Structure 1
């Protein structure tokens, strides 16, 4: 008896897992296509890693941006969210990172070395109490 490739014992299981993943991802990003044969990935999440380190004086955001040239990185911050936009020949990155505390965006310092972006912010001054007279 010849085995037919369509009768693989795990095909149904893999199809169901793929269906559930597509259903789950459609809420987060409707453009995800697990059947895509393109070599270009868009956005963070596939193999990019973003870390946030917080101390009493500063917040440090570290992001992996492999293959990106320094001139192709754009950073913006409103004190609560850091937006990282970058591109290479094979990828485009567009990430909004919610910061754990409000920062003073005017004190930001950024470095980029060997595909690793590091942005350091001083914490924003806490608002002072207002006395009534």
Structure 2
């Protein structure tokens, strides 16, 4: 008799099932949301004192983009023709959210922040 708790492939099959379900939703199958909730491809680059994020948002207009940052997480919400993107990106370093600059061109969003100094170590005596 086999114990499913020890199945080394269980997590892989669960992930494949989740991805298949998302693809069915995006294809507009019954019970799907016709592409809403698509995942955004986001790349993060640390360039010296600057942190730059590049996100692909196909089918979205600039007016449909909403960005929010708390210094540790960037939230990208975007809506376009038949598409909706909602993505929370955990930033690798703290940033000054007030230094943000953003541009959007041909479906590509770029956001840049000034990186803050890492937290100071505290010596315990």
TM-score, L = length of structure 1: 0.67
Shift of 1:49: 1.8
Q: Which residue does the alignment assign to 1:38?
A: 28
> Can you give the 5+ residue segments of structure 2 that lack an aligned partner in the other structure?
1-11
Distance 2:22 2:48 in 1: 42
Shift of 1:68: 0.6
Q: CA RMSD in A?
A: 2.8
Q: Which residue does the alignment assign to 2:115?
A: 123
Q: Which residue does the alignment assign to 2:47?
A: 55
Distance 2:66 2:51 in 1: 19
| Cα distance change on mapping 1:19 and 1:123 into 2, 3 Å | closer
| Cα distance change on mapping 1:59 and 1:44 into 2, 3 Å | farther
The 3-state SS of whatever aligns with 1:71 is strand
Deviations 1:51-94 (A, max 9, x none): 10112211100000011110110000000000000001211000
1:72 to 2:64 alignment: yes
Distance 1:115 1:33 in 2: 22
> Can you give the 5+ residue segments of structure 1 that lack an aligned partner in the other structure?
1-16, 27-31
Deviations 1:16-73 (A, max 9, x none): x987722xx29xxxxx45544418212343xx42110112211100000011110110
Structure of larger gyration radius? 1
Shift of 1:125: 3.7
Q: Which residue does the alignment assign to 1:95?
A: 87
Distance 1:34 1:70 in 2: 26
Shift of 1:127: 5.1
Q: Which residue does the alignment assign to 2:16?
A: 21
Paired residues, number: 105
